[in-house]
Amino acid sequence: MITIVDYGLGNIGAFANLYKRVNVAAKVARTAGELADAERIILPGVGSFDHAMDLLDASGMRPTLEDLVINGKRPVVGVCVGMQILAEGSDEGTRQGLGWIPGRVRHFSHAPSNADLPMPHMGWNDVRPRAGEQLFQGLETDARFYFLHSYYFECAEADHVAAHTSYGLEFGCAVRSGHVHGVQFHPEKSHHYGARLLKNFAEA
């Protein structure tokens, strides 16, 4: 069973509908009680880093989420801003993130060579996964996903980068530390590529 965390951000219905199409059981959690029995967790998000952290705290689900992931070792995948809040912090705001994967979220302009790039990075782009990443099984070559963002996750450790893409610079578009996964792109908007990735997560 997949549990989609609805704390007020993200395309909740799109995830639920996609899992229905691929015949994977999924539910939406809006309270700590609904989240408590989660086996695998989708943590979506859109918008700004601090706003996402504020809403997650206000939802009352954060302590349960942290207990499930840290102590219960439940697999989780953060999507877009849901990935970014896995970091320790962001140049976009002042709040601390969840800190489940060491690193910081940077604006593309952090690299001087990117100063003239149009923002946000929007549209389809190629994704190059690291060999053996289970989320990307069957997506090792020619995978394309839909992006919409101006910030990227700069991992403190290169081993936590699960996939790369390029927009002015090569950046980590997917991260993983053990059972904690994150993807910057939107699998729920990425047609059969996204469906395969989310099915892989359900079966990992």
Number of Cβ within a 10 Å radius of residue 83: 27
List phi, psi (to 5°) of 23: 60, 45
Active-site residue, from 80, 160, 173, 181: 80
What pLDDT, on a 0 to 100 scale, did the predictor assign at position 117?
Answer: 83
What pLDDT, on a 0 to 100 scale, did the predictor assign at position 147?
Answer: 98
Token representation of residue 28: 């939406």
What pLDDT, on a 0 to 100 scale, did the predictor assign at position 109?
Answer: 84
The yes-or-no answer on residue 80 being catalytic is yes
SS3 state of residue 188: helix
The yes-or-no answer on residue 181 being catalytic is no
SS3 state of residue 179: coil
What pLDDT, on a 0 to 100 scale, did the predictor assign at position 70?
Answer: 98
* pLDDT means over runs of 10, the chain (204 residues): 95 94 96 98 96 98 98 98 98 97 93 78 97 96 96 97 95 98 97 97 91
What pLDDT, on a 0 to 100 scale, did the predictor assign at position 115?
Answer: 66
User: Between the CA of residue 161 and those of 4, 55, 85, 155, 165, what are the distances in Å?
Assistant: 23, 27, 16, 7, 11
Domain of residue 170, CATH code: 3.40.50.880
What pLDDT, on a 0 to 100 scale, did the predictor assign at position 198?
Answer: 97
Active-site residue, from 107, 164, 186, 203: 186
What pLDDT, on a 0 to 100 scale, did the predictor assign at position 204?
Answer: 79
Active-site residue, from 121, 133, 181, 188: 188
Domain that holds residue 56: 2-203
How many domains are contained in the chain? 1
Number of Cβ within a 10 Å radius of residue 203: 10
Q: What is the 3-state secondary structure (H, E, C) of 13-74?
A: HHHHHHHHHCCCCEEEECCHHHHCCCCEEEECCCCCHHHHHHHHHHHCCHHHHHHHHHHCCC
Do 45 and 53 form a contact (C-beta atoms < 8 A)? no
